[in-house]
């Protein structure tokens, strides 16, 4: 497996943490509201074929500048800044959930800056008949139920273990701050973009026709957060797009089915344009 | 020492078969409007009665979409109380500024109550509870920014002749020019309730406002909180006045300790088990990392975690007993905290009207005079343990 090393770039918003490794065509990974990138097996596998570049969004990990992000406009301009700093013209994008939404926001506004897109359980749309479930105000264990099929997956199990600290409403006894803080920061950063409107941009659906990049929408069949209809809508409204459903996966399929995601991504990015 | 009677206006008679939280998603089909109307009238009587009993003032507060406190607009209640009384202070503790858009609405309504009462308003301003951010969908990640900007705008509206233009990040108003203006000049006394957020304390200290400790924690948590507040004032270069701090605590007085517990306990547990669940929800981005650490330190002692009567007594979650016991415990606690405002919750949970009334009477007649002797105006209230021993 390839390895990703950490570096920092001085972006206009502040210091940005970037994980980078491998050689090949550039593939930018945009993480979910969990802020995952370091030590993610799927990214290490992809680094065998691609130059994987995973910038950590402001407010997550050690990246600065969240106080200057007030919505997707700011997020898209931040991505353009990163493209310039990292010497990227039109990279491939792999975006999970929040990162998938961000990728689409970029691709609707600056279609020429995206080569191909793989969106994994992207948020960003509002479908009255299939609303996105509530992610805020949930305990880590409740979130794990929505994010994983297999509750014994090590990450899911760790989230359930956190509930023993936080427990029921109000039963917050002796929570180690170092356990809570990264999640607290990540949720706060997500809220800045996705609290209201809740994880969507009312204008986005009408703008999807602007996307020119061939797009693969990967959906976990058992996603407890984002219903399958969202992937189907993205695929229907983007001119060159299709859906791939992964059966034994929920929202965080990058952790639960890394092999399948890598295979789908590699095959899709290898297709002739 | 100033004495206030604080009312939450709780919903009594919540369907026993309902076991969920009392906040945000508690189905409003459980609210019986007839019962609600009776409660509002009863609670207003209890507030107005405080003036006759010699209290310095009453307090009302703002909560939304819940069974814990039925005042979505405390300003409505405060204006009724202002009209029906003539001497005591009317404290609104407070308006949740980020929920008002534009917040000049707060400047207007507070000024109206101040006019109506002849300058008896205490203007409380609060960030709003965690549940409110779910109930209003106002973005909690901007709660502090909006609070700050709304506060600055309201203060300017009260102290700068209008019209003027306000161009901020969250509010843009071409003509700020509220009618009416407050009677109290330059503006009414301002209270800020807080739950241990460091930024809030520093802000209150800087502005020389009064800091009200949000209740239902162990006395030790309040000791730390008010010490931090005094330190924050010292960092601003002055010594905090006792009247700059207030402690809110449930109080129940009866003839004897045994009678007090017998009459009070079930109503307290109704409050703890039925009305508090859901109040602690912490929306994302609502608290800074620095403050989160401080708030978590106190979280384990929150009243929701208390299940035994002895813990209630030992932690001073409520002061319950004979006039002697209540006096003794309050003298001790107030000395430890150093707060010059005592905000008593004399009605709690399902406590019925007759017991609430007698509680208020006994406190006013038997306890308040002794506390006034113990803590005369102008004298320091804080008595560190070492000095007492």
The answer to whether the Cβ–Cβ distance between A175 and B296 falls below 8 Å is: yes
The answer to whether the Cβ–Cβ distance between A191 and B141 falls below 8 Å is: yes
Question: What's the pLDDT tens digit per position in A20-29?
Answer: 999 999 999 9
Min Cα separation A22/chain B (Å): 35
Angstrom distance (rounded) from CA A73 to CA A110: 12
**Higher pLDDT among residues A130 and B378, named by residue:** A130
- The percent of residues above 70 in pLDDT, for chain A, comes to 95
Which pLDDT belongs to residue B113? 98
| Beta-strand pair A117-120/A215-220 | parallel
Q: What is the DSSP letter of B66?
A: B
Min Cα separation A186/chain B (Å): 9
Q: In A, which residues are within 8 Å of B283 by CB distance?
A: 136-137, 191
Structural Rg of chain A based on CA atoms: 17
Task: Please indicate if any CB of chain A lies within 8 Å of the CB of B377.
Answer: no
Q: In B, which residues are within 8 Å of A195 by CB distance?
A: 137, 139-141, 284-285
Which pLDDT belongs to residue A167? 41
**If residue B91 lies in a helix (H) or strand (E), which one and from where to where?**
strand B89-96
Q: In B, which residues are within 8 Å of A177 by CB distance?
A: 292-293, 296
- Token pair of A273 as six digits: 């344009």
Q: Which CATH number characterizes residue B355's domain?
A: 3.20.20.30
Reply yes or no: is the peptide bond before residue A248 cis, omega within 30 of 0.
no
Q: Which CATH number characterizes residue A52's domain?
A: 3.40.50.1820
Which pLDDT belongs to residue A182? 84
Which pLDDT belongs to residue B280? 86
Q: In B, which residues are within 8 Å of A180 by CB distance?
A: 292, 296
**Higher pLDDT among residues B291 and A91, named by residue:** A91
- HSE at residue A271, side-chain half, CA atoms within 13 A, is 18
Number of neighbouring beta carbons within 10 Å of residue B161: 7
Residue ranges in chain B modelled with pLDDT below 50: 387-389
The total domain count for chain A is: 1
The answer to whether the Cβ–Cβ distance between B285 and A192 falls below 8 Å is: yes
E strands, A23-173, in order: 26-30, 51-55, 92-96, 117-120
Dihedrals phi, psi of A20, to nearest 5 degrees: -145, 145
**Higher pLDDT among residues A125 and B281, named by residue:** A125
Rounded to the nearest integer, the mean pLDDT of chain A is 94
**If residue B31 lies in a helix (H) or strand (E), which one and from where to where?**
none
Angstrom distance (rounded) from CA A157 to CA B247: 42
Which pLDDT belongs to residue B389? 40
Interface probe for A, chosen from B141, B195, B299, B305 (most Cβ of A below 10 Å), is B141
pLDDT higher than threshold 80 for residue A70: yes
Question: What's the pLDDT tens digit per position in A229-261?
Answer: 999 999 999 999 999 999 999 999 999 999 999
- On whether the CB atoms of residues B252 and B320 are closer than 8 A, the answer is yes
- On whether the CB atoms of residues B295 and A181 are closer than 8 A, the answer is no
Q: What is the DSSP letter of B365?
A: I
Within the 178-197 window of chain A, which residues sit less than 8 Å (CB to CB) from chain B? 180-181, 184-185, 187-192, 195-196
In order, the DSSP letters of B291-314 are HHHHHHHHHTTSGGG---HHHHHH
**Higher pLDDT among residues A164 and B22, named by residue:** B22
Angstrom distance (rounded) from CA B252 to CA B347: 8
Question: What's the pLDDT tens digit per position in A171-185?
Answer: 444 566 777 788 889
Min Cα separation B334/chain A (Å): 26
pLDDT higher than threshold 70 for residue A168: no
Residue among B139, B277, B296 minimizing CB distance to A177: B296
Which pLDDT belongs to residue A195? 97
Min Cα separation A264/chain B (Å): 34
Q: Give the 3-state secondary structure of residue A172.
A: coil
The boundaries of the domain holding residue A179 are: 5-270
Question: What's the pLDDT tens digit per position in B220-232?
Answer: 999 999 999 999 9
Interface A-B: count of C-beta contacts within 8 A: 72
Angstrom distance (rounded) from CA B263 to CA B257: 10
The answer to whether the Cβ–Cβ distance between A172 and B280 falls below 8 Å is: yes
Please name which of A31, A203, A239, A57 lies closest in space to residue A122, comparing C-alpha atoms.
A31
Task: Please indicate if any CB of chain B lies within 8 Å of the CB of A172.
Answer: yes
pTM of the model: 0.94
The boundaries of the domain holding residue B188 are: 2-388
Task: Please indicate if any CB of chain A lies within 8 Å of the CB of B129.
Answer: no
Which pLDDT belongs to residue A175? 62
Which pLDDT belongs to residue B305? 86
Which pLDDT belongs to residue A171? 47
Task: Please indicate if any CB of chain A lies within 8 Å of the CB of B299.
Answer: yes
Residue among A136, A169, A181 minimizing CB distance to B21: A169
Which pLDDT belongs to residue B228? 96
Within the 97-136 window of chain A, which residues sit less than 8 Å (CB to CB) from chain B? 136
Residues 6+ apart with CB under 8 A from B335: B381, B382, B383, B388
Which pLDDT belongs to residue B64? 97
The total domain count for chain B is: 1
């Amino acid at each position: 497996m390839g390895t990703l090393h950490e570096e920092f770039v001085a972006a206009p918003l502040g210091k940005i943490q970037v994980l980078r490794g491998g050689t090949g065509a550039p593939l930018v990974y945009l993480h979910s509201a969990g802020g995952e990138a370091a030590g993610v097996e799927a990214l290490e596998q992809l680094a065998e074929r691609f130059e994987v570049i995973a910038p950590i969004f402001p407010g997550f990990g050690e990246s600065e500048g969240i106080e200057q992000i007030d919505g997707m406009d700011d997020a898209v301009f931040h991505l353009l800044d990163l493209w310039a700093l990292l010497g990227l013209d039109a990279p491939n994008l792999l975006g999970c959930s929040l990162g998938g939404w961000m990728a689409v926001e970029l691709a609707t506004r600056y279609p020429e800056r995206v080569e191909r897109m793989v969106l994994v359980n992207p948020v960003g749309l509002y479908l009255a008949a299939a609303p996105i479930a509530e992610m805020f105000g949930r305990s880590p264990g409740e979130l794990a139920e929505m994010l994983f099929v297999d509750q014994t997956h090590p990450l899911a199990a760790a989230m359930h273990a956190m509930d023993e600290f936080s427990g029921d409403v109000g039963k917050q006894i002796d929570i180690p701050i170092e356990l809570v803080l990264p999640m607290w920061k990540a949720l706060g950063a997500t809220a800045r973009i996705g609290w209201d409107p809740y994880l969507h941009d009312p204008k986005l659906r009408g703008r999807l026709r602007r996307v020119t990049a061939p797009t693969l929408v990967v959906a976990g069949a058992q996603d407890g957060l984002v219903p399958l209809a969202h992937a189907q809508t993205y695929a229907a409204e983007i001119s060159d797009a299709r859906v791939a459903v992964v059966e034994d996966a929920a929202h965080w399929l990058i952790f639960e089915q890394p092999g399948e995601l890598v295979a789908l991504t590699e095959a899709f990015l290898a297709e002739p344009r | 020492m100033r004495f206030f009677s604080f009312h939450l206006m709780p919903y009594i008679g919540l369907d026993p078969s309902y076991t969920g939280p009392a906040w945000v998603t508690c189905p409003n089909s459980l609210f019986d409007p007839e019962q609600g109307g009776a409660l509002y009238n009863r609670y207003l009587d209890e507030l107005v009665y405080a003036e006759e009993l010699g209290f310095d003032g009453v307090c009302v507060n703002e909560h939304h979409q819940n069974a814990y406190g039925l005042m979505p607009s405390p300003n409505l209640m405060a204006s009724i109380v202002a009209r029906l009384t003539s001497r005591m202070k009317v404290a609104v503790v407070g308006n949740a500024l980020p929920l008002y858009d534009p917040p000049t609405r707060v400047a207007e309504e507070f000024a109206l109550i101040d006019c109506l009462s002849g300058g008896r308003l205490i203007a409380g301003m609060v960030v709003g509870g965690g549940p409110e951010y779910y109930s209003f969908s106002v973005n909690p990640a901007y709660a502090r920014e909006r609070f700050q900007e709304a506060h600055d705008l309201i203060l300017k509206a009260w102290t700068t002749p209008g019209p003027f233009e306000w161009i901020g990040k969250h509010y843009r108003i071409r003509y700020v020019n509220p009618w009416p203006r407050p009677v109290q000049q330059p503006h009414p006394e301002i209270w800020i309730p807080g739950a241990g957020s460091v930024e809030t304390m520093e802000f209150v200290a800087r502005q020389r406002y009064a800091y009200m400790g949000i209740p239902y924690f162990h006395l030790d948590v309040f000791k730390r909180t008010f010490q931090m507040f005094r330190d924050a004032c010292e960092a601003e270069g002055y010594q905090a006045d006792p009247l700059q701090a207030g402690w809110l605590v449930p109080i129940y007085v009866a003839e004897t300790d045994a009678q007090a517990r017998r009459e009070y306990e079930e109503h307290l547990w109704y409050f703890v088990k039925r009305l508090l669940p859901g109040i602690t929800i912490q929306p994302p981005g609502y608290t800074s990392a620095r403050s989160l650490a401080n708030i978590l330190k106190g979280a384990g002692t929150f009243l929701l975690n208390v299940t035994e009567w002895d813990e209630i007594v030992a932690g001073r979650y409520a002061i319950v007993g004979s006039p002697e016991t209540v006096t003794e415990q309050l003298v001790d606690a107030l000395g430890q905290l150093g707060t010059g405002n005592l905000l008593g919750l004399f009605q709690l949970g399902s406590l019925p009207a007759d017991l609430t009334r007698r509680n208020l009477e006994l406190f006013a007649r038997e306890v308040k005079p002794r506390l006034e002797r113990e803590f005369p105006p102008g004298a320091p209230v804080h008595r560190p343990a070492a000095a007492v021993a």
